[in-house]
Amino acid sequence: MAKNIKKYFQENGIWFLFILPALLVYLIFMAAPLLDSMRLSFYTGKGYTPTEFVGLQNYIDLFTNPIWRERFFGALKNTFIFFAIHMIVQNSLGLFFANLLANDFRGRGFFRTVIFAPATLSVLVAGFLWTLILNPHWGAINQTLKAIGLATWAKPWLGEENLALPVIALTSVWQWVGMPTVLFLAGLLGIPEELLEAARVDGASSGYVFWRIKLPLIKPVIGVVAILTFVDNFNAFDVVYAMAGAKGEPGYSTDLLATFFYRTGIAGEHPIGIPNMGMGAAIATITFVILMVGVLFWLYSSRKNEDLV
């Protein structure tokens, strides 16, 4: 027995050594904090020492206590809307551009580079830049609308409760649309040319070719784009922080799960400024569970699709 173990390590020990540095960093700074956050969600206490065990009380408060419930469900709803706008607008635009870029014409490399360019900016910089462009008095959008005689269309884009969240989501779409574009483009370019040519010879319209041939063939790419959009946007923080502050102004109408998490567990609510880490951990854990459910559902359905093909 002891001999076997010794032999095992003589043969495999070197591999353990190779993996060890990556594993240690990953364990200590990623896996353990994620798991320990779940444990902390069962505790309460002011500031950095949540030491008092309260069981499920943080969760019960989030779901039922009026002080928490309104903020929590508000943030959850806004996060979902924020994600849905990306899913629909960003990914449809991306598919549309990719379908155009998949053709052979002069300048497609240029267009691809330009469409992707905003994605290289920091989210914070893009967010701040758009607050200036959307500034109700001096911003380029309202100035232009006034100049072309559409002054009534000029609005305080970030100041109205039912307008601010879609506007912020659309600036984020502006920044990230290059991602689905490039991914869909790679998928479309992977379709054998003979297949499309054969369909055209048979007299298929370009609409038919797109909906009935191209789209089913890039189904795996659509799945990847969908899951990336989901994980990235359920976790969005920077753009709202830059454009609407940590409280999701106006009137919490742009508050996302991540800004709620930040205020509750890290910064502390104004004016006291003492974080409630246990409650913050509970919000993080709920976000984690939502993400896991989404990812598992995706894995399950993409596997089922594979079986069918």
Partner 1 sequence: MMSRSQKIFTYFALSIWAFIAIFPIWTLIVNSFKPQKEIFSNPFGLPQTFTLEGYKAVLLKGNFGTYFLNTIYVTVISLALIVFFGSLAAYALAKWNSKASIFLYVFFIAGLMIPIRLGTIDLIRLMQFFSLQDTIWSLIPVYVAMGMPISIFILTAFVKNLPKEMFDAAKVDGASEWHIYLKIVVPLLRPAIATVAIFNMMKIWNDFWFPLVFIRAEESRTVALGVSLLFGQYRTDWTRALSTLSLAAIPILILYILLSREFIKGLTAGAVKG
Q: Hey, which residues between 149 and 168 contact partner 1 (CB under 8 A)?
A: none
* Residue 123 or 188 having the CB closest to partner 1: 123
Tallying the residues shown for the chain, one arrives at 309
Least Å distance, CB 30 to partner 1, is: 4
How many helical (H) and strand (E) elements, i.e. helices and strands, does the chain have?
17, 2
Give the one residue of 154, 213, 231, 253 binding partner 1; rule: CB under 8 A. 231
Candidates 72-80, 82-90, 207-215, 220-228: pick the segment binding partner 1 (CB under 8 A). 220-228
Give the one residue of 9, 26, 153, 300 binding partner 1; rule: CB under 8 A. 26
In the numeric block, which tokens belong to residue 288?
């984690």
Does 82 help bind partner 1 (rule: CB under 8 A)? no
User: How many C-beta neighbours within 10 Å does residue 71 have?
Assistant: 19
Does 237 help bind partner 1 (rule: CB under 8 A)? yes
Give the one residue of 81, 133, 145, 154 binding partner 1; rule: CB under 8 A. 133
In whole angstroms, give the CA distance from residue 208 to residue 53: 61
Q: Which residues pair with 52 in a beta bridge?
A: 44
Q: Which residues pair with 44 in a beta bridge?
A: 52
Does 189 help bind partner 1 (rule: CB under 8 A)? no
Q: What are phi and psi of 82, to 5 degrees?
A: -55, -45
Give the one residue of 56, 77, 295, 301 binding partner 1; rule: CB under 8 A. 295
- The conformation of residue 235, written as its DSSP 8-state character, comes to T
Does 235 help bind partner 1 (rule: CB under 8 A)? yes
Does 224 help bind partner 1 (rule: CB under 8 A)? yes
State the binding string over 246-285 for partner 1 (x if CB under 8 A, else -).
------------x--xx--xx----------x--xx--xx
Give the one residue of 54, 81, 89, 119 binding partner 1; rule: CB under 8 A. 119
How far is CA 187 from each of CA 151, 190, 222, rounded to the nearest angstrom? 43, 5, 9
Does 242 help bind partner 1 (rule: CB under 8 A)? yes
State the binding string over 198-217 for partner 1 (x if CB under 8 A, else -).
--------x-----------
In whole angstroms, give the CA distance from residue 271 to residue 162: 26
In the numeric block, which tokens belong to residue 115?
């469409």
Can you tell me which residue has the tokens 């742009």? 254
| CA 132 centroid distance within chain | 24
Q: Hey, which residues between 30 and 49 contact partner 1 (CB under 8 A)?
A: 30-34, 36-37, 40, 48
- The conformation of residue 118, written as its DSSP 8-state character, comes to G
